[in-house]
Amino acid sequence: MKVLWHANAPWTATGYGQQTRLFLPFVAEAHDVALSQNHGYAGGMSEWEGLKVYPNGFDRYGNDVIPSWADDHMHPDEGWIFALYDGWVFNNPALKRFHMACWAPVDHQPLPLIVAEAMTELNVVPVAMSRFGQDQFTRAGLEALYVPHGVDNEFFPRDRANSRELLQVPDDCFLVGMNSANKAAGQLHRKGFAEAFHAFTQMPDDAVLWVHAESDGMMQGWDLKRLASGFGIEDRVVFSNQVEYRLGFSVDWLAQFYSAIDVLLSPSYGEGFGVPIVEAQACGTPVIVTDFTAMSELLGDGWKVGGQVVWHEGQQAFWKIPNVGQLVQALKEAYNRPQEVSDAAVEFAEAYRPERVWEDHFQPVLENLRERINA
């Protein structure tokens, strides 16, 4: 079967780029694959790992070029366009000529109407990243397949003392970590930075908050340095090196980061999946998450916090704002917990290793898609 994989370029430091890098080798072993990029490569034709690479279009999501690249790679009856992106962004009627599947996040409840309408209009087969997402597609009348995201095998527990030496943080401090993209939606920030910073104000003086994010709001986000100052915690908040952040930290560095922290604080309003939540656990670190969307099913060891739903007008659906009091309680329980590798977290994360995801989920889904062509 032929596959045109449409996503972020595999060499980019984005979550979708990471998933492309992890799974394209598996897909290419079983199918005739070419890559269509919507982020990370502009210019002429190229190659990656022996696979043909088509460049970005002028449309930020690739609507203007996907049909052309698909025509170049395959006859419509030979295979599938497999898009790793939000389902609501695709709007080119020419896509109807092809079999198309979308590995799409669902980070609201219920499924946003614009997602359902876009997929219905273009006859797209949804592939959910979470069981929550699969359920929301079903409730909206769309049959969805399921493939969770994967976690690189390089995420495993590292020596805590060595990791802290690398980050240049004291061995005796309580280190809270955040790894969240600093991109905001109007007056709300899906990653819950304000609630996280507010909760951290209640932590003892030996607690440090390391924020792995763009710090100044240059990526359509918030000025997080100013936010920390507003809460009076600027002296206890550390940001990752911003030049290196733009270039992209290595997987090894991230594994050291997760191994150095005592807990990952990830109180998002909603997540389509939430890869850092599993990455941290793969390194033996417990996590704090909002009990909502995909996050509810990604906890092997740590704490779930409740909250209040909030209407997101842009998507016509709900997010959930985490309860600050519950965040404080979870942080304090983590503070009083022995600082040791969590075997429960490591064991939980094993189900999301690329080989396991490929064998248990991805390969069966692609076989399902193949059968739909031959039906």
pLDDT of residue 343: 98
CATH 3.40.50.2000 in the chain is located at: 160-351
Does 2-150+353-374 carry CATH code 1.10.10.10?
Answer: no
H or E stretch covering 24: helix 15-30
The mean pLDDT of 345-349, rounded to a whole number, is 98
pLDDT of residue 374: 81
Place of tokens 């797209």: 124
* Superfamily per CATH, domain 160-351: Glycogen Phosphorylase B; (3.40.50.2000)
Bridge partners (DSSP) of residue 81 are 4, 100
pLDDT of residue 284: 98
Strand 307-312 versus strand 317-322 pairing type: antiparallel
Tokens of 182: 């600093």
What is the rounded CA–CA span in Å between residue 210 and residue 224?
Answer: 12
**Model confidence band, residue 187 (pLDDT cutoffs 50, 70, 90):** confident
| pLDDT tens digits, 84-122 | 999 999 999 999 999 999 999 999 999 999 999 999 999
Residues present in the chain in total = 375
> For residue 10, what is the DSSP state?
T
CATH 3.40.50.11930 in the chain is located at: 2-150+353-374
What is the rounded CA–CA span in Å between residue 85 and residue 186?
Answer: 21
Place of tokens 């990656």: 48
- HEC secondary structure over 313-374: CCCCEEEEEECHHHHHHHHHHHHCCCCCCCHHHHHHHHHHCHHHHHHHHHHHHHHHHHHHHH
| pLDDT tens digits, 227-263 | 999 999 999 999 999 999 998 999 999 999 999 999 9
pLDDT of residue 119: 96
Place of tokens 């917990």: 337
